[in-house]
Structure formats: C-alpha cells, structure tokens
Amino acid sequence: MSEQLPDLQSYLGGDFGPYRGWDRVNAAMIRHWCDALGDGNPIYTDGDAARAAGHGALVAPPTMMQAWTMRGYCGRFPPGSDTREAMQVLQVLEEAGYPGVVAVNCEQEYARYIEEGDDIYFRSTIESISEEKRTALGVGFFVTELSTFYNQRDQVVGTMRFRVFKYRPHQQGEDSQ
Amino acid sequence: MSFPAIDRVSSGDKLPELVIEITPKLIVGGAIASRDYQNVHHDKDAAQALGSPDIFMNILTTNGLVGRYLTDWAGPRARLGKVAIRLGAPNYPGDRMTLSGEVTAVEPASRQVELSFRGVNRLGDHVSGSAVLILAD
C-alpha cells in the first residue's frame, strides 16, 4: 500500500487562495443561520442592538466565518478564486491507498467581528502532515490546513485550523491497537 | 436577563446546560444555512452508502451551536475570541445533545474568560473543546 507513497512533506506549506465568497455578508443569510440554530443574540439581527454592544453595524455570528466562503450548491468558488485545491495531499493519499477521511479538530480564532456588507475571502496553507499513525479507525496521516480569513480591506477577521485524518481502514480481524 | 460580570466569574463556574434535540430538520437546516451541500448532511441513502446509519450534523452547525451556547451565557455585549473543537461521535437524527461548560481561567484586567465545553449524545462526546470570551465591561 504505502511503499509507493510520494514525498508527502513536499505538500507542506504553500500559499493557496484567494478563495472568495458568493455573497457579501448580509442580514438575510445571518438571520437564516440564527433561525436554524436557535441563536437569539440580538446583535445578529438588530443593528441598534449591535451598535449598543459597540459594533459599527449588524454583525455575523463569529462561528459563521467559514459559511461566507463555502462553495454552495454549485460546488465551486466564485470567479476570481484560486482553482487549485489547498488539500491536494488528500487526493495523493487517496490514490496511495488511504480512502477514509474524518475531521478531527477545528480551531477558530476571531480577530474582529464580521459586519454586514463585508466581503470575505480566505487563503490557506498546509501547516502540518504527520508521520503515519495508527488509530482506532485505521492507519493514516493527520493533515492540518491553516486558513486565514480577510475582509475587503484585507484585514484579518480570523483564522481556522482544520485537521483531518486520512486513513486506510483496518481490515476485519486486524489488530487495531 | 442578567449576564456574568467579570468580577463575579470564577474558575470552576458551571454554565447552565443546554439540550439540543437532533432532528433531520436541524441537520438539514443547519447544513443549508452554512451552505454545506455535502450529501451526507441531507441524503440518507448517500450517507448509508458511505457507512453511516443516517445523515449527520455538519461541523459548521456544531460550531454554530457551541457559539450560541457560549454567548447565551455571556450575553450580547461579550465578544467571542476563540472556539476550538475536537470532533467525536456524530449527531444523528433522533438523538439529543447536552451541552455543558465550565470556566477554566479568568483574567480580570482584560475581562478575558477561558472555558471548556462538551456536547454529549447517546454515543458519547460529539464535541469537546475550549473557548475564549471577552466579557462586557
């Protein structure tokens, strides 16, 4: 399986992006999010409440950061986005016999609140690729993508570390220890 | 509603629990609100073909529920600075997730509070992690 493995460390680093968002930050998409998730924080739906809390305008929930740059139904980023896959090492591992993938960690830090009207994009780099590891799921590699999110003034609004385990599942009867 | 003031918060304080019913409506609604159209979050046949018993909640919805849980406690004038989660057992329809949290550190000068939290369903920990909030002055 792994004897043909290419040099994974050559996929470390890189500067991928920008990956842009289809819609500017807007009250309707924020309200739909809060509606579905049951979030009644008024700073997300009432501009006066947001300003009373010290913001310049209506703000989006910080945890919604990534939603502004999702590919959406059509499955692609809008024009002006990088067409390369930041996580291309996952495809390389897939072809090398590691078909499984599971998200392990997601760590978001928020540098400033995202406001109505903002135009969000992100850039990514591959921060780490582990040695081959054995877990309860199988044998594979932990890959961490670090994405930095910006507004239209190129100010950092936040960062996200997203770590996945790309693995070959244990065969039945195989020792999983 | 009253919200915690920095001079009344101590390490070890518990947040009130929040119970979330995991319904297909919440899973699909959360996926669409986060613009995540991966089929495992809305198509049961597709999810089963990939080895899951049913559709399951996407990560953005989990993040959003954790964010809601933290600011429900801290109030609208608090600022969320960080949410770091570790993912565990999936949230499948028909389950129920109980979120709990605890203050782990307080820095009065900066009004910064660190917390740990977890969301438990019948399979175990769906999510666990840590967060940073700046409380209102």
Residues B99, B72: Cα–Cα separation, whole Å: 12
Cα–Cα distances (Å) from A114 to A56, A111, A142, B15, in that order, read 10, 9, 30, 26
H/E element, B24: helix B24-33
Chain B contacts to A (CB-CB under 8 A):
20, 26, 29-30, 32-37, 59-61, 63-68, 71-72, 76-77, 79-87, 136
Residue B28: strand, helix, or coil: helix
Residues B19, A34: Cα–Cα separation, whole Å: 17
Confidence (pLDDT) at A105: 96
> What's the alpha-carbon Rg for chain A, to the nearest Å?
19
- pLDDT tens digits along B28-63: 999 999 999 999 999 999 999 888 999 999 999 999
Question: Which site among B60, B114, B132 would you substitute to test the A interface, given the most A Cβ atoms closer than 10 Å to its Cβ?
Answer: B60
Residues in B closer than 8 angstroms to A61, CB to CB, are 64, 67-68
Nearest C-alpha of chain A: how many angstroms from B97?
Answer: 13
Take residue B32 and report the two structure tokens written for it.
């669409």
Residues in A closer than 8 angstroms to B83, CB to CB, are 62-63, 107-108
- pLDDT tens digits along B70-83: 999 999 999 999 99
> What's the alpha-carbon Rg for chain B, to the nearest Å?
16
- Whether residues B35 and A39 touch (CB distance < 8 A) is answered with no
Confidence (pLDDT) at A172: 64
Q: Is the bond preceding residue A18 a cis peptide, omega within 30 degrees?
A: yes
Residues B64, A34: Cα–Cα separation, whole Å: 9
- Residue A68 and residue A23 in contact, taking contact as beta carbons nearer than 8 Å: yes
- pLDDT tens digits along A37-64: 999 999 999 999 999 999 999 999 999 9
Confidence (pLDDT) at B2: 85
Residues in B closer than 8 angstroms to A60, CB to CB, are none
Whether the predicted model's global pTM rises above the 0.90 cut: yes
Closest residue to A105, CB basis, from B20, B65, B85 = B85
Confidence (pLDDT) at B47: 92
Nearest C-alpha of chain A: how many angstroms from B85?
Answer: 5
- Residue A25 and residue A118 in contact, taking contact as beta carbons nearer than 8 Å: yes
- When pLDDT is cut at 50, 70 and 90, the band that residue A140 belongs to is very high
What is the residue-wise DSSP string for B43-85? -HHHHHHTT-SS----HHHHHHHHHHHHHHHH-TT-EEEEEEE
